[in-house]
Structure 1
Amino acid sequence: MNIPKGDWVIPYNYMLNKDNTISRYGNWIEFRRPFEKNTNSSTYNLLCRTKYPATVTINKESVKLYKTGVFFNKIKLNERLNKLRADVKYENGQTAVYEDRVFYSPKQVIAETQLTIDESSIQPNENLTLLPEDCLNVSFNGSKAQKGTVEIIPSGLSFECQREDFGSFSRYEVQIQLNSFAKKQKHEIKLVLKPAEENSNLIPVEKTLKYTFTIQEKSDFPLLVTTDNNSIFTFTLAPIRLGAPIRNELPKNVILKSSGIFGNYYRVWLSDSEEGYINNDYVKELPSGTPAPSYFINPISCYPTESGDVVKIPYLENVPYDVYPEPLQNRIVINLYGVKSSSTWIIHKSNLRFIEEITWQQTNKETYKIFVNLKISKIWGYELKPNGKELIFKMKYPPAYNMSSTQPLKGIKISIEAGHGGSNYGAVSLSGIKEKDINLKLSQLLESIFKKNGAKVLQVRDSDKDMTLGEKRDMATNSDANIHFSIHANSSDPENEFLGAAGTCTFYHNPFWAKFAENIFDKLVELNLKPFGSVGSFNYKVTRMSEMPSILVEQAFMSNAEDEEKLADDNFRASMAQKIYDGLINYLKYMNN
């Protein structure tokens, strides 16, 4: 039998149960997260766990025991060896003791004899291919208050850095114009840090980067073609946990004009004022001499169907495009790049339910904008997909439901995604609870409440199994669901504070779904959870959809002892499910008004 031991903690007194689960037995205390034997910090935030209920102390000081079994205290250390001891007395009079040692040695401040450069801070950290009109930005962190320069090899040109001082280091950076450098030649970058004072005994430091840059004309960059139906196309290369802000997820066979290479990413030229970035995993280079796509757009038509208002847009070449939701303006904007106007008429059929009017604008010689002007901003989803030589935009009609019915959700189908799953635990709480389990339990409660009130439910992850984010989203969008929830639990770095960030929040990507997120959030804060907020422009893939109102619920913080205690409580979880249902009802009333 293969028994996973990855989350076992000393002392190893575990018991194998009949259902093949593992549990502790006897009296025990754990030192958690993990226990460090050596530290340079003068305080130590010791996190322990035992059975609840009990009376607990750490180094003879009484502390609170949470229902999850965790207890903790911040201990002031003396230099050298320190004893850390936790005592537990259970209600039956039995006791448990756990003791260990930690060695504290203050960080020694050593007089610097040689200047240093922090290699992890150096930018650029990848090979670059740039245009002559580009600028090269070079930056690094190094010894404080010195003189930094950047040399370009083989040109021999040297550029002095600007300096910004921080606590124990300085930031050195310079922006270099590239129009005077030789083209189609690899240039190396050398960083030099010298003493600011001429008579200093400090030894300078030099660092030649392993990455180079090359300059070439725009005409020398290749055309690209997308190879995936969800090719991520971003505004920037911002280093953000969930990825840079996304312009679009392009379909397969869209042709792009590259204008730069940044490591594994191509920069894409859209117009003189617009650009984007795409990873080389999503594209391949086209043969030299392939013509760039461009066409004159002719009439656009708009008409109602049984399931939604439809806009039919000529798509004669596979040019890039993107879509911008603008609920405050009651419109959706579609940008086509490489398209020129030949629009002498736009056809509007009668009986359109959501679309007021289609208008257009040629904002520059390469960008054609289509404005889908709406009668109201209370919409139920839309999509834009290529279909041969056309782009089909569809504004979905609302489901039929009756708020005065005993089953107010009848006629609505709800998609629920329990975050993480299988080998992906998500966050792990202070006491060791896995986020994937918390998420699934709440999702199953929501399913029960929604069905009881008439809804059909798609449970995207119906058990503890591995699923990719793409699989989850595809399952939701390929169903006939009208509304989507992603269920997660939050976490922050609890290294030094176990009562740090706390509270509940909701997230949305498409601003048309802001009211949905706000209605759910307003009910969740009634649970005596701190209001972390309702957050927009959130890049989580499963909720990054326009096909239906879609939000992510972060129940509370698993890294906060008080929040974790609530999340582990079945009664609290039931109350949270009810509040989410109440928030959904309020949103449906808003949409129906």
Structure 2
Amino acid sequence: MRFTRPKVLGVLPFIVVSLIPIFALAQELFLLDVPDSLRLKVVYPADGDTVSFDRVRYAGSALPSAKVWVQGSETRVYPSGAFVGLVDLEPGVNILSFTVRDSLGVLSDSLRMFRTPGRRSLPERPTSVNTSEVRPREDVHISPGDVLEVEFHASPAGRASFSIDKIVEDFHMEEASPANAGGLQGIYRGSVIIPPRKEYSPKPVEFKFRGKDGRELKFKSDGKVHVLSELFPLVAVTTDSLTVVRTEPGGEIWMELPVGIKMQITGEREGLKMVKLAEDVVGYVASNSLRMLPVGSPLPQASIGAIGALQDANWVQLRINISKKIPFRIQQFVEPAALEVVFYRARQAPQWIMYPEDDETVGTIQWRQESASEIVLRVELNQEQQWGFHGRYVGRQFRLYIRRAPRFSNLADSLLNGLTIVVDAGHGGEFEGAVSATGLLEKDVNLKFANHVATLLEAEGANVVRTRMQDTTVTLQKRLAIARDTNSHIFVSLHNNSISPATNPVRPRGTSTYYTVPQSAAIARKVYQRLLTLGVQPFGRVVSTYFVTRQTSLLSFLVEGLFMTHPEDEMLLMD
């Protein structure tokens, strides 16, 4: 008998609550022969660390009854013996001192840190320029019609301009306000739209600057401007099995493309190639993920034909005839449930659509011409809860795979029967993860959580697959390969949280869940809500772009049980 009951997801939060398990941590407090390593242990920062910020957090442990001073100021010692806090750093060498006083006497330790000097505004007089802060620092590849931005750092309240041979001459530059320049004065910026050219040899940017004392300086950028030819477009092909396309350098992940996809290159910024997917549609790809094709290679263009359909017990396949591999992007919608595949540099050929026999999964299939070079395939679904999708090229076809709803048992003691769930213990082996103030390793806590969760899921009838059962190193790719090879329905990655080196360790705390794909939003929300009923602090339900949560072929989410770096959260993990 077939049951498509997405309400089964409501069972999982009651099982994943075991993320806050009970395991004992004994401390011998009354032994006379207590080693110094138990009386005073500093786990963060490490001796010899170099940082660029003006403060750093510290974390360590002592005997619970001890008193601890850091840099001469007393700090709180928690019942676990943990102590944490922040100390200020001066530019250059800093000596951090730690002193403990307990029933055995006084013990001290220190460590050395180096803070790199920060950026500072230059004086108005005498007129000067920081030649290490002139942009572009590296060569820039740009197409006619695109905007080139230039910048340098000099004495404030001056007059600045820039020129590029045969492109622009003495263009005015504005001094940015400190609020828009990281608090600095004397940051001068300018921009120009690159005009069409007949001569394409690379040119440096030439700057002129006159300070308040009347002194004039001339200097050039280290990076040169390469204007790409409109007559011979550059074409590259993806070389990685998973090539990330971003909205901008350092921006969000926009799409992930397979190997063998050709794209037009229109420029380069910050080590990333600018790719033109369609008219007014651009993205950025790491240069080492692309192979440049010979000059004169044709731009990618494909015609799209008929749609066929196949299905098996787990998947519905829509097979689209297509003449060439072109860039594509799959979007998922929840209300109403639908998938859209955007094909770039495509045109539609006369075609017909064959529907799959499974009308429980696929509703309607429609084409939409988004622009002259963009075609959208919209597949409306009959699923209240979507279970997975992915797309790939096979020969001269693009195949869209849509996960069918699993078959659930109607027996009260085996509600999860029919589900395959991957329980992933985060980190492991050479990857320790976060370290608490008392030296507790996240990888060990995660493994205990995962083993307990797996046992509870199995008791409810689920087929559970574990990515690791011991303290072993498992790559992210291997973890996801395990999920793929077992045709799993759900992937839950169990972790515990940490903070950055300059964050106050007594502030961020609590539990959180993370997801990327809309189909995983419901289970991430239910688990988060259930965790909060345990009385732990809320940290949030977060949309992220973690590698494991970006997977679309199954429901995938990540749980950060509590903060290893917060002493009270750590005590909950140890209790």
Structure-2-length-normalised TM-score: 0.81
Q: 1:177 aligns with which of 178, 193, 199?
A: 193
Cα deviations by residue, 1:220-254 (Å, 9 ceiling, x for unpaired): 233222223222233322x25xxx41312x22222
Indicate conservation of the 8 Å contact 2:121/2:186, yes or no: no
Q: 1:548 aligns with which of 537, 544, 554?
A: 554
Cα distance in 1 for partners of 2:514, 2:176 equals 36
Match of 1:28 in 2: 39
Cα distance in 1 for partners of 2:141, 2:198 equals 13
Match of 1:132 in 2: 144
Question: What SS does the corresponding residue of 1:359 show, helix, strand or coil?
Answer: strand
Measured at CA, do residues 351 and 33 of structure 1 come closer, stay the same or move farther in structure 2, by a change above 3 Å?
A: closer
1:290 is displaced (CA, Å) by: 3.5
Cα distance in 2 for partners of 1:562, 1:120 equals 45
Match of 1:539 in 2: 545
1:453 is displaced (CA, Å) by: 2.3
Cα deviations by residue, 1:138-193 (Å, 9 ceiling, x for unpaired): 23455444444333357672222233322443543222111066632111124555
Indicate conservation of the 8 Å contact 1:379/1:398, yes or no: yes
Q: Does residue 1:64 correspond to 2:114, yes or no?
A: no
Match of 2:99 in 1: 86
Measured at CA, do residues 83 and 486 of structure 1 come closer, stay the same or move farther in structure 2, by a change above 3 Å?
A: closer
Measured at CA, do residues 477 and 350 of structure 1 come closer, stay the same or move farther in structure 2, by a change above 3 Å?
A: closer
Structure-1-length-normalised TM-score: 0.78
Cα distance in 2 for partners of 1:38, 1:382 equals 45
Paired amino acid for 1:535 = V
Match of 2:275 in 1: 268
Q: How does 1:457-536 map to 2 (within 5 A)?
A: 457-495=464-502, 497-536=504-543
Structure 1 residue runs without a partner (length 5+): 1-22, 572-593
Match of 1:245 in 2: 253
Cα distance in 2 for partners of 1:409, 1:347 equals 34
1:372 is displaced (CA, Å) by: 0.8
Question: What SS does the corresponding residue of 1:527 show, helix, strand or coil?
Answer: coil
Cα distance in 1 for partners of 2:209, 2:152 equals 10
Q: Does residue 1:55 correspond to 2:71, yes or no?
A: no
Q: Give the percent of matched residue pairs that are identical in Structure 1 and Structure 2.
A: 22
1:371 is displaced (CA, Å) by: 0.2
Structure 2 residue runs without a partner (length 5+): 1-33
Match of 1:97 in 2: 107
Relative CO higher for 1 or 2, CA cutoff 8 Å, sep ≥ 6? 2
Cα distance in 2 for partners of 1:342, 1:466 equals 50
| Between 265-274 and 218-227, the greater mean CA deviation after superposition | 218-227
Paired amino acid for 2:224 = T
Measured at CA, do residues 360 and 115 of structure 1 come closer, stay the same or move farther in structure 2, by a change above 3 Å?
A: farther
Cα distance in 2 for partners of 1:477, 1:101 equals 47
Q: 1:420 aligns with which of 417, 423, 427?
A: 427
Q: Does residue 1:294 correspond to 2:301, yes or no?
A: yes
Q: Does residue 1:189 correspond to 2:196, yes or no?
A: no
Cα distance in 1 for partners of 2:48, 2:124 equals 28
Question: What SS does the corresponding residue of 1:562 show, helix, strand or coil?
Answer: helix
Match of 1:558 in 2: 564
Paired amino acid for 1:186 = P
1:463 is displaced (CA, Å) by: 3.1
Match of 2:337 in 1: 330
1:392 is displaced (CA, Å) by: 1.6
Cα distance in 2 for partners of 1:76, 1:288 equals 55
Q: 1:157 aligns with which of 169, 173, 181?
A: 169
Match of 1:574 in 2: none
Cα distance in 2 for partners of 1:174, 1:352 equals 58
Match of 1:577 in 2: none
CA RMSD of aligned residues (A): 3.9
| Between 451-460 and 505-514, the greater mean CA deviation after superposition | 451-460
Paired amino acid for 2:200 = K
Measured at CA, do residues 61 and 446 of structure 1 come closer, stay the same or move farther in structure 2, by a change above 3 Å?
A: same
Indicate conservation of the 8 Å contact 1:144/1:169, yes or no: yes
Match of 1:225 in 2: 237
Cα distance in 2 for partners of 1:130, 1:169 equals 29
